[in-house]
């Protein structure tokens, strides 16, 4: 005797979220730009090289396996009216599953310290946090 198969779980069939750079392109399209408009504006300021509107179509419909190169990043930034840093962060998220964070208002020394702490074990990070907190308490006279 065979049992009836259960109905498929409709919640499991939800589409996966659109990747970061693809999402930026889709947002531009949603705001009224056409793929051809993006292609016309997609000129890297440093090299003058262009990318076609078809590349933007691929980014939205079926993103390529390889991340865009620096020239393509410059052209994409120009087309979308975004900074190259914003496009690089989206590329890193989409192709490397890396979410970039940015510190503003701090010098290179702070970035180096944070990069160093980020490479430490959790135990070492806790030790450094304890030292920093002890320094703060000493400064306040506690």
> Which regions of the chain does DSSP assign to beta strands (E)?
none
Residue 60: CB partners within 8 Å, gap ≥ 6? 22, 25, 26, 29
Residue 82: CB partners within 8 Å, gap ≥ 6? 24, 76
Whole-prediction pTM value? Answer: 0.62
DSSP, res 48: -
pLDDT tens sequence for the chain (142 residues): 444 444 444 333 333 346 899 999 999 999 999 999 999 999 999 999 999 999 999 999 999 999 999 999 999 999 999 999 889 989 988 998 887 666 666 666 666 676 667 667 888 888 888 888 888 888 888 7
Give dist(CA 14, CA 10) in Å, integer: 7
DSSP, res 72: H
* Tokens encoding 64: 């390529």
């Amino acid at each position: 005797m065979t049992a009836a198969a259960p109905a498929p779980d409709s919640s499991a069939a939800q589409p996966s979220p659109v990747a970061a750079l693809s999402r930026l392109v889709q947002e531009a399209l949603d705001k009224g730009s056409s793929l051809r408009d993006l292609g016309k504006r997609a000129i890297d300021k440093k090299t003058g090289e262009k990318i076609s509107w078809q590349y933007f179509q691929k980014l939205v419909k079926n993103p390529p396996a390889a991340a865009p190169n620096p020239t393509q990043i410059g052209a994409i930034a120009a087309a979308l009216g975004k900074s190259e840093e914003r496009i690089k962060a989206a590329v890193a998220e989409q192709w490397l599953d890396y979410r970039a964070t940015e510190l503003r208002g701090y010098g290179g020394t702070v970035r180096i310290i944070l990069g160093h702490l980020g490479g430490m074990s959790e135990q070492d990070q806790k030790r450094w946090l304890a030292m920093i907190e002890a320094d703060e308490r000493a400064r306040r006279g506690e």
